[in-house]
Chain A
């Protein structure tokens, strides 16, 4: 017995360097972002996060950057994506496990894995050429025509490039990720719980509802992952969001996201004194958003009595 404990300890020390390496790499990356952001903080303080301006200038004193619109757009579109992915991924997971005939079960799972692995530019092009026109014609135009007094629908859809388009596209893109996690949790739910709920006289729908509640931690985890993927997505989003410094509550308005801002502006940023630093600061805000979302997730799980 004693010797086994010793073995475990040795193994722990063997793993330690790897753990430190990963952690160190992450810390270094964060440090780079911090130090690269310092010039812009010295130049304008926290206004980089609280204002919506993008003034590039040959004269560094006139330069001024505020990425609020991009932060807003990132959060807005990612929340939309998660809201769309939530029902899609749960129903898909339940369908695959409970309802899909044996023969198409595996093909369906493989198909979603392929979907998850597709290069995102593929989604972007499909989004720009197929999804955006469809959304504009069948969703935005009618809603605007009839319900434009509601702030959500108050922006006249001109091009169709908008938060909504980005949110829907992102929702479709992240569903396979969320669904995979939810599906595996649902699949591995012990059979005795299925027996329990049916033995109490539940219908299939009631049973599913109760069983899905039992995998709430996996659902939260899946949605966190989905949010992370959505907020980090770049290419596809920049093709459908409109890339406009704009803050609007309306789903149909064009906007920007942090990732697409960085991708779009990086090429010419080196011409200006502060723009690179401003983009690093924008990237840094993604760290913080990611951190905040994960803390939120932990809080939700803790309330559920399942935090580890």
Chain B
């Protein structure tokens, strides 16, 4: 197993030598007796797009849910090892605090269907008491919807239920909902796997835009998407971290045979 330490990336090393948005140390995850994530240690630099790819069932979604302690919703899930955000163990933090800093976008667009578009974006702000006045709330909602490139499409129907939007719009609404809270990290679990190519393109452009301010960890089973959007890639296979490094390096010159097979489409 090769775990690159990103030395090849000069630009990043100049920006910040030691600051990582997320680090895992010997992360192991089990569902009951089923050992799903096996001793994964990796470091995700700040303000980059970090892709986690691998075949279906290899544990991508599971690992992602360890980063914001969402795994704890599942009673059978057990975690050992550590996860740190900006150097601090998330297990020494309040899970609610963790989830405010580490936002998440899911595989199926999941805005609350009966809640208005406005309220969906305002929800996280209200829950975490991030705004002080109605005016500030209005402004932040508008700002977030603009960030998510959705404002022009919904500005005249903010009171409509979220279910009135198309799938791609709903996914951008979910991004707006997360962005509104100004998280430092956004986790995305195959955010475009249920969308058409045009919506996919929009979201990929968004990701490019967002990484100026936040770190994005995106799960994808598509090497092509990883190549398009990411700066770094980790390749996960059967719960093991096979290879990690800068996207360009890995696509041009994979060090592991498994990685190469996966990238060239010889593996499912």
A binds B: yes
Interface residues in chain A, defined as those with a beta carbon under 8 Å from any beta carbon in chain B: 190-203, 206, 210, 213-214, 216, 304-306
Which of A195, A200, A214, A306 is in CB contact (< 8 Å) with B123? A200
CA distance A210 to B161 in the complex (A): 14
Residue of B nearest to A206 (CB): B127
A200 near B106: Cβ-Cβ < 8 Å: no
CA distance A305 to B117 in the complex (A): 14
B221 interface residue, CB < 8 Å from A? no
Q: A195-B70, A210-B123 are in contact. Are A201 and B100 (CB under 8 A)?
A: yes
Interface residues of B in 173-211 (CB under 8 A from A): 174, 177-178, 181
Interface residues of B in 150-178 (CB under 8 A from A): 161, 163, 174, 177-178
CA distance A199 to B73 in the complex (A): 10
Total contacts A to B, CB within 8 angstroms?
65
A200 near B114: Cβ-Cβ < 8 Å: no
CA distance A191 to B113 in the complex (A): 14
Q: How large is the interface on B (under 10, 10 to 19, 20 to 34, 35 or more residues)?
A: 20 to 34
CB distance from A243 to the nearest CB of B (A): 44
Listed A/B pairs (29) with beta-carbon separation below 8 Å: A190-B110, A192-B110, A193-B110, A193-B112, A195-B70, A195-B73, A195-B104, A195-B106, A196-B106, A196-B112, A196-B174, A197-B112, A197-B123, A198-B73, A199-B70, A199-B103, A200-B123, A200-B127, A200-B128, A200-B181, A201-B127, A202-B96, A203-B96, A210-B115, A213-B114, A213-B115, A214-B112, A304-B114, A306-B114
CA distance A214 to B113 in the complex (A): 8
CA distance A99 to B146 in the complex (A): 39
CA distance A210 to B114 in the complex (A): 10
Q: A196-B110, A197-B123, A201-B124 are in contact. List 7 more A-B contacts (CB 8 A).
A: A192-B106, A192-B110, A193-B110, A197-B112, A199-B70, A210-B123, A304-B114
Interface residues in chain B, defined as those with a beta carbon under 8 Å from any beta carbon in chain A: 68, 70, 73, 96-97, 99-100, 103-104, 106, 108, 110-115, 123-124, 127-128, 161, 163, 174, 177-178, 181
B114 near A214: Cβ-Cβ < 8 Å: yes
CA distance A9 to B108 in the complex (A): 35
A200 near B70: Cβ-Cβ < 8 Å: no
Q: A192-B108, A305-B114, A306-B114 are in contact. Are A199 and B99 (CB under 8 A)?
A: yes
Q: Looking at chain A's contact residues, is the secondary structure mostly helix, strand, loop, or mixed?
A: helix
A201 near B114: Cβ-Cβ < 8 Å: no
CA distance A210 to B112 in the complex (A): 9
Residue of A nearest to B97 (CB): A201
CB distance from B265 to the nearest CB of A (A): 30
B112 near A200: Cβ-Cβ < 8 Å: no
CA distance A206 to B125 in the complex (A): 13
Query: Which residues of the partner chain B approach A304 to less than 8 Å between Cβ atoms?
Result: 114
Query: Which residues of the partner chain A approach B100 to less than 8 Å between Cβ atoms?
Result: 201
Query: Which residues of the partner chain A approach B70 to less than 8 Å between Cβ atoms?
Result: 195, 198-199
Residue of A nearest to B111 (CB): A196
B110 near A195: Cβ-Cβ < 8 Å: yes
Query: Which residues of the partner chain A approach B108 to less than 8 Å between Cβ atoms?
Result: 192
Q: A200-B177, A201-B100 are in contact. Are A194 and B114 (CB under 8 A)?
A: no
CA distance A196 to B163 in the complex (A): 15
Query: Which residues of the partner chain B approach A216 to less than 8 Å between Cβ atoms?
Result: 114
CB distance from B245 to the nearest CB of A (A): 29
Query: Which residues of the partner chain B approach A199 to less than 8 Å between Cβ atoms?
Result: 68, 70, 99, 103-104, 106
